[in-house]
Amino acid sequence: MVEALIAVAAMLAGTAFVMALYRFLKGPSAADRVVAFDVLTIVGITGIVLVAFLEGRGIYLDVALVYALLSFLGVIAVARYLERGY
């Protein structure tokens, strides 16, 4: 039962990945691309967490947490860059 729920979550995450990748590639503005990239990293973190549950390895959750922090800092840096208008 749990594996089926994880499979459904993985399919939904894959669909979200494809939709965000399309927006990242076709985004009319830099802000759209930044938001799409943030969504892609969130979906990546979701994938790491799903693998952690499937494998039963808690260390992957630490990896997901570090990836989330780095993603957040990266998006903030790019947003500040875009805000200045360079």
- What's the pLDDT band for 86 if we cut at 50, 70, 90? low
pLDDT at res. 85: 74
Q: What is the DSSP string of 22-48?
A: HHHHH-SSHHHHHHHHHHHHHHHHHHH
Percent of the chain scoring above 70 in pLDDT: 99
Q: What is the domain-level CATH number for residue 77?
A: 1.10.287
* 69: containing domain: 2-84
Tally of domains in the chain: 1
Give the predicted TM-score (pTM) of the model. 0.88
